[in-house]
A and B are shown apart, each in its own frame.
Chain A
Amino acid sequence: MRGIPTVLITVSPEVSAQMRPPRALYPKGFGVGNSTGRPGMRELQRAVVRDALLLLTENTRPGEVVTREYPDYGEQYEPPRVKAGR
């Protein structure tokens, strides 16, 4: 069986971590519906996608979500939490 390397961009790191993705980037403070940034912010979108793809070439720990900060995004959001008891 041949696998396909993947990398996830998540704005819900706690929820995504439950699924133990092989590689994942959390752009800190990005809101749900803004995986790569806000509309029209192409340079920011490029930076986020570049960083996500670069995780493919780094020694990341499988299942770990890597957090990076992108101040250009502006107002920050609290990510969704995993409900207690689950």
Chain B
Amino acid sequence: MTTLSRKCVPFTPFDGELSKATVAIVTSGGVHLKEQEPFNIADDLGDLTFRIIPEDADSSELMVTHHHYNHTDADRDINVVFPLDVLRDLKEEGFIRELARKHVGYMGYTMQLKAMYEGTAPEIANEIDRGSRADVVLLTGG
């Protein structure tokens, strides 16, 4: 299980070249596929779950469920918080090599910080580590 450090900045050097790198997006912006279960915005404690977004997801099939920021712009163009098409452009121009197999969306609002920190975050890290083949991760909020 991947562990997360509280004591220091968990800085991992990147020794490679971006043009040879596979990139995953992890967003706290509440992004998920329309066909996936929306995040639970009715629970005042927040939602500790996350959604896996496959590399071939059509951006028109993505949506936002999050009630702690104004996602009107993301509703029009998901790339403002989840730049999947942007990464496709960067792949096309040779700036990066590949999009990761898996990307992750979760709702970055919770009153259960300990559970988020000790449960959800390492689970997301493991998904990325084991299943996405990502060399680097781009993190976005809302």
Contact = CB atoms under 8 A, between A and B. Distances in A.
Contacts of B129: 2, 4
Contacts of B69: 32-33
Given A42-B86, A53-B90, 11 more contacts: A1-B2, A8-B141, A32-B70, A32-B142, A33-B71, A35-B29, A39-B79, A42-B85, A42-B89, A56-B18, A63-B9
Interface residues of A, number: 38
Q: Is the contact region of chain A dominated by helix, strand, or loop, or is it mixed?
A: loop
A43 to B, nearest CB: 9
B18 A54 contact: yes
10 contacts: A4-B128, A5-B135, A6-B136, A9-B138, A32-B142, A36-B79, A36-B81, A36-B140, A39-B80, A42-B86
Interface of B: 2-3, 9-14, 17-18, 21, 23, 26, 29, 69-74, 76-77, 79-81, 83, 85-87, 89-90, 95-96, 125, 128-129, 134-142
Contacts of A6: 12, 26, 136-139
Given A21-B139, A22-B9, A49 B73 contact: no
Contacts of B142: 11, 32-33, 35
Contacts of B134: 4
